Amino acid sequence: MTLLVADSISISFGGVKAVNQVSFAVKQGELFSIMGPNGAGKTTVLNLISRFYDVDEGNLTFEGEDITQVKTHQVATKGIARTFQNTELFEHETVLSNLLIAHQQHKNTGLFSEMFFLPKVKRQELSFRRRAEDIIDLLDLQGYRDQMISSLPFGIRKVTELARALSLEPKLLLLDEPSSGLNPEETEDLSFWIEDIKEELGITIIMVEHDMNLLSQVSDRVLVMADGSELTTGTPEEATSHPDVIKAYLGD
Amino acid sequence: MDISQLVVTGIANGCVYGLVALGFVLIYKATEMVNFAQGDIMMLGAFIAFTLSSQLEMPYYIVVPGTILIMAVFGMALERGVLRPMIGEPPFAVLMLTIGLGFVLRAIAGTIWGHQPNQLITPYSGGVIDIAGIRLDYEKLVIMGGTGVLCALMFLFFKFTRIGVAMQAASQNQLAAYYVGIPVNRVVSITWGISAAVAAAAALMVAPLWWIEPGLGLVGIKAFVAAIVGGFGSLPGALIGGIAIGLVEQLVGYTIPGFGETGAYVFLLLMLFIRPEGILATMQRKKV
């Protein structure tokens, strides 16, 4: 089953076509990667899917529904979560609170009952906390759960951001260069977690990534972009051995 | 004059500075802009209360929620109509805009209600109670009690409600807030509404004591001082700063007659020398 379809999407900034007529379809349960040299428009594609930008032309369908008019804050409710290359976290909160804030937005209780912490609110809060703890266990964050984000090293922040995205219980997870800034050991942990997220939680993933090892290890298919356009799409082996791709990375 | 009276007056005035300062801090935290029209929003609240009670002769139990509601809507409208189009403009432009907004509000108030001082008469006006030998006017008692209740409500609101937590989240990282599903624009709008509502509550409580006139808006300057003394960005700090300013003003004014207000600003200067991050620091010095 197809989860997300991008149908010749384009966007320009000033005179530059950052993304030019790019099309792809991501199947349910698939790990779809996007690679390409700097400035190829990979992150822009993620920003288009997550409704940070409006597409100039083309269509985006998620679960058969057009999402080009969805508001940025509704993306999470639709079942799309994302992470950022340089992490965007709530700095003055603990790891646990960062996850709980994400859960909080799915409450369906009223202002009054929340202020006075009535039983219904308490039940929801308990189930949120249980799920947050599950995610903390999954990603090995137990040692950091009560630490402030601002005191954490970059690698742990990246994992925390991944945890927060998971706590939104997404159907589609967008990862923007998850390995950037991580050391080789952390990158290896990451590759296992990504496989767990895909296999055990059944979450479909679109990942922008530079690390070739990580890419070929976890990806089902890879879209290669250069200068805003698609060069090729295929299995990691097909994509990396494609003559146009080699040319784009190494020059003529 | 007895010292206890000075302290009572200082705390009561300080609560008012503190409540207006809360408005400064709320908006600053949510949007990183300083709304210099905050005091003028309070002034407008006082005039609305005056109109509802003295001119339209509504009962006081309608005047209170009515004023707060009208001002909350006004605050949200202000954000929507004047401030939101400024998103993306340099902070200095936004700052100038809010200063200008203050002038406009004072001028409008002067045109509608005139410049002569008015007074709000409440059911409790003029009452006096004696507690342990200290003479307390009902007006001051209401200010202190009301401020306490407001602070407790705000604490519960920010700690436990979804919208309160969303406001805190959006103030820390707007991008992250969007992607956990927080409608940041609406949150900012509500923040303005709450700031204006708190200013209106302060206006309602202080209007029986102070004269209602367009110049009342200038209390915003003292509230701004209070917010800085308290540690800009800290909500409890704003209140503590307000009370500190109120007390300093009264005590200095008693010791050196006529220098009460000056004392408040000298106190600010001293604070900036000794503890520039404020009483409850939230800002860290940049490490180089």
pLDDT tens readout for residues A17-44 = 899 999 999 999 999 999 988 888 899 9
Strands of the A57-62 sheet, one edge to the other: A16-27, A2-13, A57-62, A65-66
CA A174, CA A160: separation in Å to the nearest integer? 15
Whether A114 has its CB under 8 Å from any CB of chain B: the answer is yes
CA A147, CA A127: separation in Å to the nearest integer? 22
In the predicted structure, residue A113 carries a pLDDT above the cut 50 = yes
**C-alpha pair distances (Å), B236 with each of A23, A169, B1:** 53, 35, 31
User: A187-206, pLDDT tens digit by residue?
Assistant: 999 999 999 999 988 999 99
pLDDT at residue number B287: 47
- Domain locations in chain A? 1-79+170-252, 91-168
Nearest residue of B to residue A125, measured between CA atoms: B160
B173 contacts A88? CB cut-off 8 A: yes
**B9, part of any domain:** no
CA B180, CA A77: separation in Å to the nearest integer? 8
CB B94 within 8 A of CB B83: yes
> Mutating which of B179, B182, B187, B194 best tests the A interface, going by the most A Cβ atoms within 10 A?
B179
Q: What are phi and psi of B257, to 5 degrees?
A: -55, 135
> What's the structural domain count of chain B?
1
pLDDT at residue number A23: 92
Nearest residue of A to residue B183, measured between CA atoms: A73
Q: What Rg value do the Cα atoms of chain A yield, rounded?
A: 19
**pLDDT, one tens digit for every residue, chain B (288 residues):** 578 888 988 999 999 999 999 988 888 888 878 899 999 999 999 999 999 988 888 888 999 999 999 999 999 999 999 988 887 788 889 889 999 999 999 999 999 998 888 888 888 888 888 887 788 888 888 999 999 999 998 888 888 888 888 888 888 888 899 998 888 889 999 999 999 999 999 999 988 888 899 988 888 889 999 999 988 878 888 999 999 999 999 999 888 888 888 988 999 999 888 888 888 766 555 544
Q: Residue B254 in 3-state DSSP?
A: helix
Burial of A189 (0-12, 13-18, 19+ CB in 10 A): middle
Pick from A206, A150, A204, A198: which is nearest to A178 by CA?
A: A206
Distance from CA of B207 to the nearest CA of A (A): 30
B180 contacts A168? CB cut-off 8 A: yes
CA B149, CA B27: separation in Å to the nearest integer? 21
A202: left (phi over 0), alpha (psi -120 to 50) or beta: left
**B70, part of any domain:** yes
Confidence of residue A102 (pLDDT cuts 50, 70, 90): confident
**B143, part of any domain:** yes
Q: What are phi and psi of A232, to 5 degrees?
A: -165, 165
CA A109, CA A121: separation in Å to the nearest integer? 7
Q: End-to-end alpha-carbon separation of chain A, Å?
A: 39
CA B66, CA B19: separation in Å to the nearest integer? 19
Q: Where are the beta strands (DSSP E) in chain B?
A: 128-131, 134-137
A91 contacts B172? CB cut-off 8 A: yes
CB interface of A with B, residues 171-230, below 8 Å: none
**B281, part of any domain:** no
Q: Which long-range contacts (CB under 8 A, 24 or more apart) does A246-252 make?
A: A248/A36, A248/A37, A248/A224, A249/A37
Q: What is the mean pLDDT of residues A51-55?
A: 91
Residue B222 CB-half CA count within 13 A? 26
Q: Residue B138 in 3-state DSSP?
A: helix
**B49, part of any domain:** yes
> Mutating which of B151, B168, B180, B187 best tests the A interface, going by the most A Cβ atoms within 10 A?
B180
B-chain CB neighbours of A118 within 8 Å are none
pLDDT at residue number B285: 52
Q: What tokens were used for B158?
A: 């920010």
Confidence of residue A61 (pLDDT cuts 50, 70, 90): very high
Q: What tokens were used for A106?
A: 């799915």
Nearest residue of A to residue B167, measured between CA atoms: A101
B160 contacts A114? CB cut-off 8 A: yes
pLDDT at residue number B283: 55
**C-alpha pair distances (Å), A144 with each of A138, A163, A166, A195, B131:** 13, 12, 17, 23, 51
Nearest residue of A to residue B185, measured between CA atoms: A73
A87: left (phi over 0), alpha (psi -120 to 50) or beta: left
User: A215-231, pLDDT tens digit by residue?
Assistant: 888 999 999 998 888 98
Q: DSSP alpha helices (H): ranges in A7-166?
A: 42-49, 75-78, 95-104, 111-115, 119-138, 154-166
CA A250, CA B153: separation in Å to the nearest integer? 63
A-chain CB neighbours of B180 within 8 Å are 76, 101-102, 105, 164, 168
A73 contacts B182? CB cut-off 8 A: yes
Of B161, B163, B180, the CB nearest to A76: B180
**B38, part of any domain:** yes
pTM reported for the whole predicted model: 0.82
Task: DSSP for A128-160, please give it.
Answer: HHHHHHHHHHHTT-GGGTTSBGGGS-HHHHHHH
With a pLDDT cut of 90, the percent of chain A lying above it is 48
Of A77, A88, A109, the CB nearest to B176: A88
B163 contacts A76? CB cut-off 8 A: no
Q: How many residue pairs from chains A and B have C-beta atoms closer than 8 A?
A: 69
B-chain CB neighbours of A105 within 8 Å are 162, 166, 180-182
Of A75, A92, A111, the CB nearest to B161: A111
Distance from CA of A3 to the nearest CA of B (A): 19
B-chain CB neighbours of A102 within 8 Å are 180-181
> Mutating which of A49, A50, A52, A90 best tests the B interface, going by the most B Cβ atoms within 10 A?
A90
Of A50, A91, A115, the CB nearest to B156: A115
Whether A84 has its CB under 8 Å from any CB of chain B: the answer is yes
In the predicted structure, residue A252 carries a pLDDT above the cut 90 = no
B162 contacts A107? CB cut-off 8 A: yes
CATH of the domain spanning A1-79+170-252, picked from 3.40.50.300, 3.40.50.10710, 1.10.150.120, 3.40.50.11890: 3.40.50.300
Give the domain range for residue B81. 23-217
Pick from B198, B231, B143, B281: which is nearest to B22 by CA?
A: B198
CB B141 within 8 A of CB B148: no
B178 contacts A105? CB cut-off 8 A: no
Of A71, A92, A106, the CB nearest to B172: A92
**C-alpha pair distances (Å), A53 with each of A12, A71, A117:** 10, 10, 38
**C-alpha pair distances (Å), A135 with each of A131, B9, B179:** 6, 54, 18
Distance from CA of A222 to the nearest CA of B (A): 25
Distance from CA of B149 to the nearest CA of A (A): 14
Of B156, B160, B181, the CB nearest to A73: B181
**B191, part of any domain:** yes
pLDDT at residue number B257: 87
Pick from B261, B258, B283: which is nearest to B272 by CA?
A: B283
pLDDT at residue number A164: 93
Q: Mean pLDDT check: name the lowest of A123-127, A144-148, A209-213, B245-249.
A: A123-127
Of B163, B165, B175, the CB nearest to A101: B165
pLDDT at residue number A107: 64
